[in-house]
Each structure stands twice: as structure tokens, then as C-alpha cells.
Amino acid sequence: MKKEHLHIVENVAPGSIAEELSIEAGDALVEINGNKIEDIFDYQYYTQDEYIEVLIRKPSGEEWIFEIDKEYDEDLGITFENGLMDEYRSCHNKCIFCFIDQMPKGMRDTLYFKDDDSRLSFLQGNYVTLTNMSDEDVDRIIKYRLSPINVSFQTTNPELRCKMLNNRFAGQALEKAWKLARAGITMNGQIVLCKGINDGAELERSIRDLSAYLPNLESVSVVPVGLSKYREGLFPLEPFTKEDAKQVLSMIHRWQEQLYPEYGVHFIHASDEWYILAGEELPEEERYDGYLQLENGVGMLRLLINEFREAFDELKITKGVEIAPRELSIATGKLACSFIMDMAGQVMEAYPQLKIHVYPVQNDFFGEMITVSGLLTGQDLLAQLKGQALGEKLLLPQNVLKSGETVFLDDMTVGELEKALQVPIDIVKSSGRDLIDAMIM
């Protein structure tokens, strides 16, 4: 007999419909409109209507039926102990570029979990390969009109995709993307580029094939494979060179120029790493089509620069602003460091009473080819900042920490790093305005 699937309420938002009805933490959601709720897809779909009937089971076992009149799409104000309302689905691929396979042993267990869950794509923006998605999952996405769905394509060559993902069904999975596109489901795509594997003519083919998904496939990002120092026994992959990066950018720019006049979007985008590696200027803001792929590092630096400029111009216009003399420091990954140094220099030029040290932190933990700040560890920060002039406070970008936590990837806490460095640490949000505020306040 199949076990009953209950969903335990963790929190009820103040002033919400659920609070008004006396739904409380510890209650269990059983049904909506007579339908069993399997996961978050079902819940969000069945709670859309203006009139719904919700069956709640109290911890005592007593069941209450609530008849609810509300606005269309109005939220009930409930969060559940399991945000997905179901078990997380792990990935069955063995991708040649998987970063989790390149991590050292001994880290916390959650860092080794490989997800390939379409529901997390919808909820959190995770990229999925579609290989772990059943036909029923595809049909539910279409039925519930869930979008956007973020798809990790890698290549549109079915045979090559099977090899890259080490999954004999990986080529067939591309048909699911076509089905979603034909049904009008909005998607964003990703290509993790591996030198000599899916670049060159294969990348040309992928861009050409994927452009046929327009307009429902809104964008595709091309990101270079991340290579840590822990690759013993893994598929041999090489880092890209400056000349490689220039060739990748040339191809992407050519396709942008071809597609924009017809579709009004640039569609194919290079992550920031390509421009830095190639030594080329970042594109202007308009080329990013509204920053659809920020989480993939596409346009993140351009947005930061533009936000900084806007906030800095406003600051210069404001007269009579008193800024006390102070000394502070900023630590960041090597990828963005030159940009942060430039911003700090502008602030110090405008306010000579400020002294700002900017330190690029090399990633010794994962290897020097990993240059993003999001993969910095507490031990690297400690080793490279110990003994440096840090001033009254140290600023760190918020992506060095998991959202809502104060722990680095290596389990060192912010408090432990503060104690070891003997300096207060401020975690700075990602915007240019937040960076300026942290510098001058």
C-alpha cells in the first residue's frame, strides 16, 4: 500500500490567508480541491484559482476543510518543511565537466549532492539536462504552464551529448526541449564549453540548432568549463587560452548580429570569463537582453559597473556629505579584482580621507584556475589576508557564502575568520550601490 503523502507546515506568513484561517506550523496539507498533492508543482497549480477547498490535518489527527475565496494567484502564505514537497531527485549523468566530481573528499555531504530536478529549475533557476525528466514530468510542466525552465544543453549533437553526459539517453532528451518549446514553455539554455569537445564547429552547430527554438528559448549562455586541481582519473580537459576565448567571442558576436535584427534579442551570450581571458571590453548593457543569465556569470560585471557608476554619480552630486576618515579592505576572487580595484580607486580619489585595500585571493583550495569569488574558502581567505593591512573592517562579497548562512565552503564560519584575522567582516550584497555604501559608511 502506498504511503500517504503529507506536507507539514513549517511557517505561516503574518497577515496571510493561512493565518486568518488558523492554519499553524505542524499542520499537514492533505488535499486541495480533492486532489492529492505530490509536490510543489501540484500545490502551486491547484492554489491558483479564486475558489479552492483545502483539507488540513491537525497534529491531533482532526481534519478541517477550508473553503477559500481569494484573488487569482494569491498566495496562501504557507511554507513547508520540505520546500520541494517531495524527495529531491539526484542526477544519473556522469558528465565529463561535472564540478562536483572535482571536489576533494572530506567536505560536508550536501556539497556532493548532484541534482537534476526540473522542479528546482522552475523554483530556484537550477539548470537541468532533461535526462532525468520523465515524459510525465514534461506533460506536467506543459499542463501547469511552469516557466522558465533552465536547460543545460552542452551540445545539440545527440551522439556527442551522450558522450559528454555519459548517458545513452542524453541525445533523446533533446526531444523533450523541443516538446516544451512547441508548447510555448519559456526556457533559458546553457552550454558548458569544453576545449576540443563541443567548441568550434560543434558550438556553431549548437547555436544554429538552438536558435530555431526562438522565441520560447529566450537565451543561451556559453560558459567555460571550470577545472579544479582534483581531476585525477577524470576525463582529460584542457583550459582555454586567450586565442581560444577570442574565437569563441567572435562566433558569439557574429550570431548576435545575425539574430538581433529578426528577433530583437541577442540570444547567445558569453559569460564574463571569456572577455577577461580574451582581454576584450565587456559588452554594453543593451547586449545582455535584460540580464537573463546573471546567475551564470553573464553580464554580472557589466551590471556591477553600471550600478556603481550610477550610485557614484549620485554621491558626487550630493553636497556636504561628511565621510569620516577610515581605512578598510576588500577581498575578492581574481576574476573581478581589477574591476573592484578600479571602483575603489574612484572612491578614494573623490574622498581622500578613505584608504581602501583590495586583495585578490587566489583559490589554492580548488586550484588557481578557479577565479570566481563564489568558490573561495575561509582557509584561503585566512592564509592570504593574515598579516595584511585590513583597516577597520573587511568587506567580502555575499556569494562567498550560501544564501542565508554564515559558513564558507570549507565549513569555516564568518565568526571564526573574524576572530583569526582580528577584524570585523561585512558581507556585501551584489549591487554596485551596496558596494559604495559599504565603502563609505
Structural domains present in the chain? 7-80 (2.30.42.10), 100-297 (3.80.30.10), 303-440 (3.40.50)
Residue 203 above 60 pLDDT?
yes
Q: Report the percent of the chain where pLDDT is more than 70.
A: 92
Residue 2 above 50 pLDDT?
no
**Phi and psi at residue 43, to the nearest 5°:** -60, -50
Instruction: Look at residue 120 in the predicted model and tell me its pLDDT.
Output: 52
**Which run of H or of E encompasses 165?**
helix 158-165
CB neighbourhood size of 30 (10 A): 18
Amino acid letter at 226?
G
Whole-number Å distance between alpha carbons of 398 and 47: 34
347-399, pLDDT tens digit by residue? 999 899 999 999 999 999 999 999 999 999 999 999 999 999 999 999 999 99
Instruction: Look at residue 338 in the predicted model and tell me its pLDDT.
Output: 95
78-114, pLDDT tens digit by residue? 988 887 666 666 677 899 999 888 989 888 777 766 6
Residue 125 above 60 pLDDT?
no
Mean pLDDT of 259-265: 96
* Average pLDDT across the chain, whole number: 90
Mean pLDDT of 149-156: 93
Instruction: Look at residue 106 in the predicted model and tell me its pLDDT.
Output: 81
Rg over CA atoms, the chain? 24
Instruction: Look at residue 189 in the predicted model and tell me its pLDDT.
Output: 95
DSSP 8-state secondary structure symbol assigned to residue 413: B
- Between 389 and 121, the more confident residue is 389
DSSP annotation string for 336-347: HHHHHHHHHHHH
Instruction: Look at residue 114 in the predicted model and tell me its pLDDT.
Output: 64
204-233, pLDDT tens digit by residue? 999 999 999 999 999 999 999 999 999 999
What is the reported pTM?
A: 0.85
Instruction: Look at residue 86 in the predicted model and tell me its pLDDT.
Output: 67
User: Residue 408 contacts by C-beta under 8 Å, 6 or more apart in sequence?
Assistant: 376, 377, 378, 381, 400, 401, 414, 417
Binning pLDDT at 50, 70 and 90, where does residue 145 land?
confident
Mean pLDDT of 141-168: 92
User: Residue 40, exposed/middle/buried by CB under 10 A (0-12, 13-18, 19+)?
Assistant: buried
Whole-number Å distance between alpha carbons of 441 and 433: 12
**Phi and psi at residue 343, to the nearest 5°:** -65, -45
